[in-house]
Amino acid sequence: MRGRMTMETIKLTIDNKQIEVEKGTTILGAARRMGIDIPTLCHMKLDDLNIENKPGGCRICVVEVQGRRNLSPACITKCDEGAVVRTHTPRVMNARRTVMEFILSDHPKDCLICPKSGNCELQNMAIRLGIREITGQEIAEMSTYRKDTSPSIIRDLDKCIMCRRCEMMCNEVQTVGALSAVNRGFMAVVAPAFEQNLEYSPCTYCGQCVAVCPTGALTEVDHTGDVLRAIADPSKTVVVQTAPAVRAALGEEFGMKPGSLVTGKLVSALKELGFDYVFDTDFAADLTIMEEGTELLARLGKFLNGDEDANIPILTSCCPGWVNFFEHNFPDLKDVPSTAKSPQQMFGAIAKSYFAGKINVSRKDMVVVSIMPCLAKKYESQRPEFSVDGNPDVDFSISTRELAHFIKQANIDFNNLPDADFDRPLGESTGAGVIFGNTGGVIEAAVRTAYELYTGKKLSRLDFDELRGMEGVRQATINFDGLPINIGIAHGLGNARKLLDDVRAGRSTFHAIEVMACPGGCIGGGGQPLHHGDSSILKARARAIYEEDKNKTIRVSHENPYIINLYKEFLGEPNSEKAHHLLHTHYFDKKAKIIVKQ
């Protein structure tokens, strides 16, 4: 509180009400604190995650400041002592309407069939401002930029309003640098270098651009049609897996409050949709812990014996956006991440070998579908190394949003569905598998298992609060019975880059590092219901994930009876030759190369 007392404050008046704010506060920030909801379009702020987009470009948030000749954009104008601000004078409202009409004048009017319809910030703004006609529409030139379809993301730049949120996410938060504002005036768009398709850029398909796009300019590739065809084909056995973060967010698409856990309804809906087997990616997360944890202990053992080839720290490899990132940016370190495949791909490999054998279905007659909070998973499932003779381990990956559309189309009353249980054997999971959805969760799950396997002792507590939270980079030291293990955690690729730079420079003191590409982890993934800039939604989802963990009877991966059985019946030991063949992978150097001709 002492800091607050000495803080320099400013008094001003907004809409005839007085307020005192900290120096440096914007008019928008002050107004929101008073419950005055100045409309914004390009501005977006995710509290606690240090993410803010304020190019001051769209001019929707203009307000009148007494004594200033021009209207001021509230999102970037700082409060002055004694300022008198009005947010809804006729002049302001008229200007706001004109700005909106300009933005809409060259925007496609195909809202009825736009993938963003009903969830579009531009559409909502047009509704809010009551736009009924657009002055000068007859003479407005329309943009005709080509569409770009990549394995995960579709760019339809006719719908881009140059808010530049995607550019901010791609460059400042993720430091991927695939997108930049190019050209000027009417031709201005956000695009990769040389306006190439995304596929020929360093894009990681993390989907954070899609997660923040206010319009239909950036959307995911929709695979629900493929899934429907597979279900309709009587010769196919369709197996579905669902990622941990989906159950903590899907309810939002059906009007439930953020943080509602809908695991049982989700299973019911998937059965109702006609999937033959409804399984859980959490099972594969437990399997990942067995493989990755064993690899960690082996590398750690070497390291403690002074072996210089021990390759410490070990990095997690569950996140396909992260894998793409280091293949593009740190190919020299490609031996550092764990070779364990992601849970999605482990699941596919086991479903099409172990499980297909168990139910006597041939590989080609089995279709594996994944429900993911993620768009990079679409690309990952299409990697050639994850297929056998051209038949992919995971046939289709659809996002939480796509699943919600699918459920609505199938006339399912989601909110009133009874709870159902996952099928067995690939549907049984532990609390450790569930927390994979949160930043810090993978490493916490790994610590639970590695600790017990290394020390031979039971953990007295399973909640590692020191590994949880929303800070971009976190570190903790866990005592393995006298052996201190240093753990680093990063979420958001820009934060990961900081830890990777240390590893490259030999400065890193970590034994293990967890990276998730998306802010908050998978709960904030590019395929999740849109947060529209409200970070409390992400926090509610994270709480729901930890709640699900607490409710589980088994909370460490190595005690999952179906995992134990899988090793006994099929794989042998963790990191066995068969496990390596099915559950591990290798990485590629994808950095752009400059070849010097002599």
Is there binding between residue 586 and other proteins (CB under 8 A)?
no
| Separation between Cα atoms, residue 212 and residue 171, nearest integer Å | 14
| Three-state DSSP state, 557 | helix
Number of other residues whose CB lies within 10 A of the CB of residue 526: 30
- Min. distance of Cβ 590 from other proteins in angstroms? 4
- Binding string, residues 312-351; x marks residues near other proteins by CB under 8 A: ----------------x-----------------------
> Has 380 been annotated as catalytic?
yes
Select the residue interacting with other proteins from 5, 113, 505, 596 (CB under 8 A).
596
> Has 338 been annotated as catalytic?
yes
The closest alpha carbon to 377, from 353, 406, 346, 404, belongs to 346
Smaller CB distance to other proteins: residue 381 or 438?
381
Is there binding between residue 177 and other proteins (CB under 8 A)?
yes
Is there binding between residue 1 and other proteins (CB under 8 A)?
no
400-409 and 263-273 helices cross at what angle (nearest 10)?
60
Q: Outline where 276-425 has alpha helix (H).
A: 281-304, 320-329, 343-350, 356-358, 376-381, 400-409
Catalytic entry in 72, 260, 338, 353: 338
Q: Which stretch binds other proteins (CB under 8 A): 7-15, 126-134, 190-198, 209-217?
A: 190-198
Smaller CB distance to other proteins: residue 405 or 590?
590
Select the residue interacting with other proteins from 69, 132, 184, 257 (CB under 8 A).
184
Evaluated on CA atoms 372, 376, 381, 382, the torsion sign reads positive
| Separation between Cα atoms, residue 472 and residue 499, nearest integer Å | 11
| Separation between Cα atoms, residue 469 and residue 275, nearest integer Å | 36
Select the residue interacting with other proteins from 200, 419, 479, 532 (CB under 8 A).
200
Is there binding between residue 504 and other proteins (CB under 8 A)?
no
> Has 377 been annotated as catalytic?
yes
Q: Would you say how long the chain is, in residues?
A: 598
Select the residue interacting with other proteins from 181, 228, 361, 554 (CB under 8 A).
181
| Separation between Cα atoms, residue 179 and residue 7, nearest integer Å | 39
Q: Which residues, including other chains, have CB under 8 Å from residue 225's CB and lie 6 or more apart?
A: none
> Has 385 been annotated as catalytic?
yes
Smaller CB distance to other proteins: residue 181 or 333?
181
- Min. distance of Cβ 178 from other proteins in angstroms? 6
- Min. distance of Cβ 51 from other proteins in angstroms? 19
Q: Which stretch binds other proteins (CB under 8 A): 19-27, 47-55, 185-193, 449-457?
A: 185-193
> Has 318 been annotated as catalytic?
yes
Q: What is the largest CA-CA distance in the chain?
A: 80
| Three-state DSSP state, 82 | coil
- Which residues, numbered 202-231, are part of the site for other proteins (CB under 8 A)? 202
Catalytic entry in 61, 160, 163, 318: 318
Going through 9-79 in order, the beta strands assigned E by DSSP cover: 9-14, 17-22, 44-46, 51-53, 62-65, 72-73
> DSSP letter at 352?
I
Catalytic entry in 380, 444, 514, 548: 380
Catalytic entry in 20, 385, 547, 573: 385
> Has 199 been annotated as catalytic?
no
User: Which residues are the active-site residues?
Assistant: 292, 295, 318, 338, 377, 380, 385, 522
Interaction site with other proteins (CB under 8 A) = 171, 176-184, 191-195, 199-202, 328, 589-598
